[in-house]
Structure 1
Amino acid sequence: MDLRTNNLVLGLLLIVAIFRAPGVGAWTGEIRGRVVCDVCGDSSIGPEDHVLEGAEVAVLCITKSGEVVNYQAFTNSKGVYTVAETMPESERWDACLARPISSFHELCNRPSPGSAGIKFTYKRPSGYFHNVKPFVYRPENSPSYC
């Protein structure tokens, strides 16, 4: 085993030992949401609207101990972003703010009013997720069929 592999194995063993120590329980949290394009700009999701792949979202959380953690996520082909973390129970998320950063879709990249950010407390037990309402972008000009 080379030195790098040896250090990696020792680090993994240390992490496992910490989570198995008495009084230290592991906690896993997850935040999910979607980003969509409101094609007609009518503030309702309809058949003409579509999800935005590659949209950037930031999630800022404060842990029970007061530490601030910042995450960056991008939407997948279904317009869904996910942020997940495993940490000691004593360090779990307490409150979070999710906000859209940008849409790289050239025809739908104007943030919709009211899509500035969403604050929420994170009360979910380990292994469960919090679903954030969709962030919405609009095109510069709506199509004529709207």
Structure 2
Amino acid sequence: MKKRLLALLAVVTAFAAAAEATGPASTVVAGMVFCDQCKDGARGLFDYPLYGARVAIQCGGGDTPLTVRESNTNWFGGFSIRMDGSPDMNRCTARVVQGTGHCGAAASGAPRELTLAFRMLGLALYTVPPLLSQPEEAMDMCPGHERQRRPPSLFSPPLAPTPAPAPPLPTPFWRRRPRRLPPIWRRPPTLPQEQPQPQPSSRPVPPPAASACTYDKWAAPEHSCHWKVVTPNTTVAMAFGPLAGQRYGSELTLREALEGRGDMYRTLLREATAALLNAYYNAPGGAFLYPTTASVIDHMNGALLSSTQRVLIEGARFRRANGGGGGPDGRTRLPCDLAPCAPARR
């Protein structure tokens, strides 16, 4: 599901670049770059999208291919390169020519071939599998990682073998010191004390339940201290991705999103924002209907890419989850566990 979401984000970025084209026909190449921290040549758990990497489109093949276009990746690791006309890019490849920061060893990334996604109305979209840029050394937390010693240089002289130390000579018996036994430490006698016996509790202590709160609870000022990871001033585009930013604008904040009503898309954003805050507030994999924040973002973007009926259905599901629906057994309603914040000291 995560791979599908990243692919959708790359396609949306390509569409946004193609919309700015003024010529009759144009070609767009879109993809993403990841930092391969484990240096295993594949996307893993510790890999993340790489910002500012330099990607080149090369054609012609051979040892010295011709570089057609170059571009840098955005904050989400995606890139889109637009070219006028409709050239045939089936024999072209994309590769990372310059990494950034920790993942600067871009020469280790292999080139990937371009694939034609669709061609219509004078617009041709080519996609490329995820590109990788590797660091100098693999991360210590990677599975099966072992630090290897550097091989000796061919021009360095061979090291002389270290002679084994000579065994120590035995000490003469007239110089040996007599062995002394360690002193015996004895504790003073203590009177036995009666240990209090724990009284059995008549009622078992129930485990803490999950929490589900509606949008008006999260919008109240006395509950502002319970916001996690995101803040009321975080933009919708930063919280839900570029697809939501294209729909609702790049300056709309989460505080303003909780006030949306009167339109089914604003209602969807309001309920999705409350569900995102509930997912951040609860432990991952808990009793909340959406156990992770990625599932909330995935359903939100899926509704924006579908029909109006899907928008209404997802908005109703978000509203049911925020109202406490979807408990451990599917029937128990979850309470709203938001205590009022303490007033600030003057």
- TM-score relative to the length of structure 2: 0.29
Write 1 or 2 for the structure with the bigger share of strand.
Answer: 1
> Where in structure 1 are there 5+ consecutive unaligned residues?
1-15, 20-25, 63-67
- Corresponding residue for 1:12? none
> How many Å apart are 1:60 and its aligned residue?
3.6
Contact 2:36–2:134 (8 Å) recurs in 1: yes
Change (3 A) 1:47 1:31: same
Give the whole-Å Cα distance in 1 for the aligned partners of 2:117 and 2:127.
12
**What's the secondary structure of 2:71's corresponding residue?**
strand
The higher radius of gyration belongs to 2
- Local SS of the residue matching 2:103: coil
> CA 1:140–1:112 in 2, change beyond 3 Å: closer, same or farther?
same
C-alpha distance 119-142 of structure 1, shift in aligned 2 (>3 A): closer
Aligned residue in 1 for 2:88: 94
Change (3 A) 1:138 1:69: closer
Cα pair distance change 1:94/1:51, threshold 3 Å: same
Contact kept? 1:38, 1:138, Cα under 8 Å: yes
Map of 2:232 onto structure 1:
none
Equivalent position SS for 1:94: coil
Alignment of 1:1-146 (within 5 A): 26-60=24-58, 70-87=68-85, 92-95=86-89, 96-105=92-101, 107-111=102-106, 113=108, 115-120=109-114, 124-125=118-119, 126-146=122-142
Report the alpha carbon displacement of residue 48 of structure 1 after superposing the two structures with TM: 1.3
Structure 1 residue 117: deviation in Å? Answer: 1.9
- Listed one character per residue, the Cα deviations across residues 65-99 of structure 1 (whole Å, up to 9, x for unaligned) are xxx88211000001111101233xxxx21133322
- Rounded to whole Å, the distance in 2 between the matches of 1:38 and 1:121 is 23
Residues 85-125 of structure 1 show CA distances to partners (whole Å, capped at 9, x for unaligned) of 233xxxx21133322110122x1122375x33234475842
CA contact (8 A) 2:97 2:106 kept: no
Q: CA 1:121/1:134 → structure 2, altered by over 3 Å: closer, same or farther?
A: closer
1:128, distance to aligned residue in structure 2 (A) = 4.0
Tell whether the 8 Å contact from 1:61 to 1:93 is kept in structure 2 after alignment.
Answer: no
Report 1 or 2 for greater relative contact order, CA contacts < 8 Å, sequence distance ≥ 6. Answer: 1
Say which SS state the counterpart of residue 27 (structure 2) adopts: strand
Amino acid at match of 1:27: A
The change in CA–CA distance for 1:29 and 1:48 in structure 2 (over 3 A counts) is: same
Residue 130 of structure 1 and its aligned partner are, at CA, apart by 1.2
Q: Return 5+ residue gaps in structure 2 as ranges.
A: 1-21, 61-65, 143-346
Indicate the structure with greater helix content: 2
User: How many positions carry a matched residue from both structures?
Assistant: 112
Query: In the TM superposition, what whole-angstrom CA distance separates every residue of 1:28-78 from its partner, at most 9, and x where no partner exists?
Result: 21101111111112233223111110000111458xxxxx88211000001
Structure 1 distance, partners of 2:50, 2:59, is: 24
Tell me if the contact between 1:112 and 1:136 (Cα under 8 Å) persists in the aligned partners.
Answer: no
> TM-score w.r.t. structure 1 length?
0.63
Cα distance in 2 between the residues matched to 1:43 and 1:128: 29
Q: Quote the RMSD (CA, aligned, Å).
A: 2.7
